[in-house]
Structure 1
């Protein structure tokens, strides 16, 4: 899939077919994530790939906006790792870029995906820390539910000229 087509046709998918994702695809998604730009190229991220049905079913108890995990065969928890942070607080931008790369790679591979926010909600951060026994230097940032789409939302036109300013406000 061509890059601009992927950007223009990617939509959040919350309904999935009951079909497993081959493990080789996990690597493709995570490689795409790790190719994201980061401040000083520090790559301050860690990833938890979740395909255990028992764990996927627990996720909505921590993050109600991730109810689709009860249907998805895979979720990826994107986390910031303070050990790799040379520029304080830029890990949020870095992890955001990694999430977007996963979303676009998933779409290009024929998967559906949706980004569920975790950071900065303290209850979600602590819930994921407990569920996955994350060390103190790891901060859960976002959860991406993935699967083969069982819905096809129409592409959306979102360009708004009135929000573009040239050379000054």
Structure 2
């Protein structure tokens, strides 16, 4: 599990394509995530078109890394046919974390760009992708070969552990 400690947020990428097999491996890891009552609310859009990537990058002030990525995985969730709607965002969080860890395991860079639960971010992205009414954008994960090494941050804080006596 050391890969968890090697994952970092990567926002700049080399101008090298990411093959479909790699993208599928990342999405496969996302689909392996647990979900409430196995509802698996996820749907994924793989975006390579530079114009579409540029448009997605303007949907939120934090999405700029999408513009220079060779590919972005747009993680969406269904709103119909869901029996635990209050759990959907939790399910999607597990899914995206799995994808970020798998990207790191494949020596790819990625970053979680949150769109949900902000309608002012979700709606423009939904229009860019021409999504059906029953899909919402959860997050966008740009993926690529990292430009530079980046810094791994140790977030362990023993003060946040409370041992029962």
TM class, shorter-chain normalised? over 0.9
1:120-143 deviation per Cα after TM superposition (whole angstroms, max 9, x unaligned): 111111101111111221111111
| 1:133 maps onto 2:130 in alignment | yes
Which residue of 156, 160, 163 maps to 1:159?
Answer: 156
Residues 50-74 of structure 1: per-residue CA shift (max 9 Å, x gap): 1111101111211221111121001
Indicate yes or no: 2:105 matched with 1:123.
no
On the 8 A contact 1:20/1:147 being kept in 2, the answer is yes
Q: State which of 8, 13, 17 in structure 1 corresponds to 2:5.
A: 8
Give the aligned length.
165
Q: 1:84/1:109 Cα in 2 relative to 1: closer, same or farther (>3 Å)? A: farther
Residue matched to 2:69: 72
Normalised by the length of structure 1, the TM-score is 0.92
Question: 1:49 aligns to what?
Answer: 46
Find the counterpart in structure 2 of residue 143 from structure 1.
Answer: 140
Instruction: Give distance in 1, aligned partners of 2:164 and 2:133.
Output: 43
Structure 2: any 5+ residue segments left out of the alignment?
none
**Unmatched tracts of structure 1, length 5 or more:** none
Q: Over residues 100-125 of structure 1, what are the superposed CA-to-partner deviations in whole Å (9 max), with x where a residue is unaligned?
A: 11101111111000111101111111
Partners of 1:66 and 1:145 within 8 A in 2 = no
